[in-house]
Amino acid sequence: MTTLAAFLPELVLLLGSLALFVVTLGEGGVALARKVAMGVALAALAAAILSLDQRTLLFDGAYQVDLFSQFLKLVFAAGFVLVLLVGGHLPDIRQDLKPEYFLFLALSLCGLTMLVSSAELITLVVALELSAFPLYLMVPMRREREGQRVQMESAIKYIMFGVAANGVMLFGMSYLYGLGGTTSIAGLAQALRPMAGSPILIAALALTCCGLFYKLALFPFHFWTPDVYQGAAHETAGLIASLPKLGAVAVLVRVVSLAGPDSQALAGLLALLAVASIFYGNLLALGQQDFKRLLGFSGIAHAGYALIGFVAMDQAGYAAALYYLTGYLLMVLACFAVIFLVSGEGANVRIEDLAGLHRRSPLLALTLLVGVFALAGIPPFVGFMGKFALLKAALHKGHLWLVVLAVLNAALAVYYYLRVVREACFRESSDQPPIALSWPSRLLCLLLIAGILGLGIAPGAVLDTLAASLSP
């Protein structure tokens, strides 16, 4: 019974995926598939809450259930619900593929849920691929428009970069296995302790992290990001921009900790990647006109901010990175929810298309304002508290230069975020009709606003829970 309770969220998602597969076998069934998907998401959320206190090892030690994994499963389940609310009835997905879209969405979430409990390299790879392959198929499902097949180009780039990054990651894992003689992460931590700081171990860890850096859209594994954001449907781009990144950071915690807390070489490498990602993302975001491309380059910069927590190489830094990505999930989904509701039929939204949003829909304008201000790191939103926690952890370890560069970049990013605010709140548009919001859309906006404010005003509970989950 204890084993069943510990594996309950995964079991719900697996059975839900099977139910969605049965739905896809018939003709039509779009409305039924959406209802089943929402039911699975709510059931997964309930299962994650019920199993939050479970602590055990499953499958001969390959699967670890603890506070760390169970808390993140709760976040994933909540994100699953929010993604379904953002997507609505999938207006920009081909009609004949909508049931399959819900199936792939559930499978990807199942992979992410398993990813955070993977305590062994082979299990980790299987879970990582289970979360990734459905996304590769979801990108080209966007409805075609006359003269526009950009989703196909985006899907090819996403797959090719993913395959290359995974190949490098597997190469690094082979070195870790060769050095430690085991695929167990706990066993590797013990076996590699005498080698801490050795060049071969640093090289193995750096190569292993490559596949996770790709998920995180970190420089130099970022090239796919703006094109996939622009080419994929809004609901797909919103998913890719949020949940997989949190999963990547969760696995990075396990991998980076193998180097030990005093690995200055790995900390220096991570610091350089963080700075490069922050500068690249912010500078290229300055000239963007398509809102999703802007969020793509912004996401590259935010990946760099998240990596600052790993430079500290301690529990405070890891907890800050996880907290930041949890908040980023809400921030970016708020922006994608506005894009989805403004575009109507699923067309891409330029920044100038947001003109007059404060008159067309005050609630959408408020949601956008909160999401953008949070991304910019303005208090009292979660983006400010996340950056503060990350910079505090880095400064505590003596990385003053990194903190200074990150603060300067945060000021730089305010410029392009304020461009969005200016269009939505201070420009008028006489030829755009009001936007009527359904009650699920209103609920979604209110939940996102409350989450961004709540995590920013009272971050202690989440940070304390994450810190406690990382304690040995």
**Residue pLDDT, tens place only, 294-347:** 888 888 998 999 899 888 888 888 888 888 988 898 898 888 888 888 886 767
Name the band, by pLDDT with cuts 50, 70 and 90, for residue 195.
confident
pLDDT at 289: 85
**Residue pLDDT, tens place only, 201-217:** 888 888 888 888 888 88
Residue 15 predicted with pLDDT over 90: yes
Classify residue 428 by its DSSP letter: -
Angle at 183 (CA atoms; ends 257, 191), nearest 5 degrees = 55
Q: Give CA–CA dist 209/460, Å, rounded.
A: 29
pLDDT at 468: 80
Residue-averaged pLDDT of the chain: 85
Paired with 148 in beta bridges are 145
Name the band, by pLDDT with cuts 50, 70 and 90, for residue 14.
very high
Name the band, by pLDDT with cuts 50, 70 and 90, for residue 107.
very high
The H-or-E segment that residue 56 falls in is strand 56-58
Question: How many C-beta atoms surround the C-beta of residue 465 within 10 A?
Answer: 18
- The stretch 283-296 carries a mean pLDDT of 86
With beta carbons less than 8 A apart as the criterion, state whether 459 and 389 touch.
Answer: yes
| Structural domain for 112, as ranges | 2-470
Paired with 57 in beta bridges are 64
pLDDT at 18: 92
Whole-model pTM over 0.75: yes
Closest CA to 212 of 261, 292, 273, 280: 273
Q: Give CA–CA dist 73/247, Å, rounded.
A: 10
Q: Give CA–CA dist 307/170, Å, rounded.
A: 21
Closest CA to 282 of 364, 424, 405, 381: 405
229: which 2 tokens?
A: 């954001």
Query: Which segment of 101-115, 234-248, 270-284, 344-358 scores lowest on mean pLDDT?
Result: 344-358
**Residue pLDDT, tens place only, 165-176:** 888 889 888 988
Structural domain count of the chain: 1
Q: Is residue 63 classed as helix, strand or coil in its secondary structure?
A: strand
Q: Give CA–CA dist 8/5, Å, rounded.
A: 5
With beta carbons less than 8 A apart as the criterion, state whether 302 and 281 touch.
Answer: yes
